[in-house]
Structures are given as structure tokens and as C-alpha cells.
Amino acid sequence: MPYKTIYLDEIDSTNNYAKTLSGAENTVIIAKRQTSGRGRVGKSFFSPEGGIYMSVILKGGNQPFCAGSYTALTAVAVADAIKRVCDIDCGIKWVNDIYIKNKKVCGILTEAVFDGNKLKNIIIGIGINVSDFLPNDELEEIATSIERESNRKIDNKQLINEILKKLYLELQNFDSSTFFEDYKKLSIVLGKEITVLDPKGFYKATAIRIEKDFSLTVLKDGVEKNINFGEISIKA
């Protein structure tokens, strides 16, 4: 294991816990369940036992920080690990969700910890629905689990190890890595009619390009627009 590992039975959120570990680096926090798992844009992440909830803590350094590229690199690593360990194909829904057959199985939340102006740590939170535990129709509609889709029992430890191995390797070649091409190949939004969930108002558009900074360019009424934050829905 390339990372120092801290195992917890229960925590509010592994990302929150990671933020309290001042000065930690190359460390991963893994919890059996979370009581207040968090997603992007203020959403919660349902985290009962049986899933994988973990946060990788990296040293910040002086490089400009682009959360989107860490999220994208992680999405590629997770999709690759799921394919290897569970023999199932995943796609990436811009920017941080992993899908199997049009339903979400994994979300990624990258956060930065600053000390004044200095980027102290980068925290990459990964949540994966492994066992079949979806509690209500609302989640049934949008989410699925690896065990449901692959019809087999998954060894969480094996999957975690594979993800961390791949993530570590990708992070070693962060600048020259091929993950941008891999990310585009795995994208399930390119060429699709989507709805952009802009806080100022939803609108329909076509996803046409993922940029080097992992922002998404869409075509709306013949005009290109670049989105680098927020949510999209594939149901146009």
C-alpha cells in the first residue's frame, strides 16, 4: 500500500476527518460508514456499511491547484480499478461521477486545505456504492451498486487496493500522464444532449468538448459556452 492508512468504523465524513490531520500527506482515511457523507454542491452522500468511503490526503506544494484535474485523474483510476477487479465497464459523467448503465455508482469530492495563501493539502474523497443497499425510490432512480450490476460479491479491500495503486501511479506522472485522453474516452456526456443545472436557470445544450482544465464546453443555440463549475444532467 503506497499510503499510510487509517481505518475507522464510523465518522461523519472522511473528508472532514482528513482536514483535521494537519500536515499529513500520502495518507488515506477509510471508513466503514459515514453519518454525514458530503457530495459536491452541498449535496449529501448516502454512506451505509457495505460501501467504500475514503479520503486520500496529498501534500499541497506550490503548483497551481486545479480540483477538476485531480477529480478527473481519480475518476479514471476508479473506473480502471472497477474494470479490473469487478469486470464491469464504467463511464464518467462530467466531472466527478462514475456511472454504470446510466446510473451512478461512485462520486468524487476533491477539496483543498489552505494555510494562508499556501496550499497545504489536497483531499480526494471517493464514495462507492458496492453492496445493494439503496433505501428509497428516489435513489433507486439515479443510483446503482457494483454488486447489483456485476451480479457478484465484491471484495472491498481488493477494490480499494487497486484504486490506490492506480491513483498513486497516475499521480507520479501527473503532468505527462495520459489520463486526459482516458478521461475523454470514458466520458458519457460528449456528444449528448444535456441539461445544464445553472443556478441562474437551467438550460438545454449539447456537450461538445472537454478542455485541458477539465471544464466542459457546450453548444447552446449555436453559441459555445464553457462550464467549469456546477452540475449537468444527461436527461435533456
Residues contributing to the site for ligand BTN (CB under 6 A): 13-15, 34, 37-40, 43, 45, 53-55, 96, 107-109, 125-127
CA distances from 226 to 131, 205, 215 (A): 36, 11, 7
Residue placing its CB nearer to ligand BTN in the complex, 46 or 208: 46
Least separation in angstroms between CB 96 and ligand BTN: 6
* Least distance CB 83 / ligand BTN (angstroms): 20
* Whole-Å CA distances, 140 to 93, 102, 132: 18, 12, 10
Q: For cell 478527473, what's the residue? A: 72
Indicate the SS3 state at residue 116. coil
Beta carbon of residue 111, minimum distance to ligand BTN (angstroms, whole number): 9
Measured distance CA(188)–CA(98) in Å, rounded:
9
Query: Least separation, in Å, of the C-beta of 49 and ligand BTN?
Result: 13
Which is nearer to ligand BTN, 85 or 106 (by Cβ)? 106
Q: CB 176 → ligand BTN: shortest distance, Å?
A: 27
Q: 139 or 208, CB closer to ligand BTN?
A: 139
**Residue 37 or 68: which CB sits closer to ligand BTN?**
37
Q: Is 196 helix (H, G, I), strand (E, B) or coil?
A: strand
| Residue nearer to ligand BTN on the CB measure, 138 or 221 | 138
Give the residue with the Cβ less far from ligand BTN, 162 or 206. Answer: 162
Alpha-carbon distances, residue 8 vs 121, 160, 203 (angstroms):
21, 14, 42
Cα gap 157→47, rounded to integer Å: 17
Cβ neighbours of residue 190 closer than 8 Å, sequence gap 6 or more: 184, 207, 208, 209, 210
Q: How far is the CB of 182 from ligand BTN (least distance, A)?
A: 20
**DSSP codes joined into one string, 144-184:** --HHHHHTS---HHHHHHHHHHHHHHHHHTTTT-SHHHHHH
Least gap, CB of 123 to ligand BTN (angstroms): 8
Which residue's CB is nearer to ligand BTN, number 143 or number 171?
143
Nearest residue relative to ligand BTN (C-beta): 107
Q: Are 36 and 13 in contact (CB under 8 A)?
A: yes
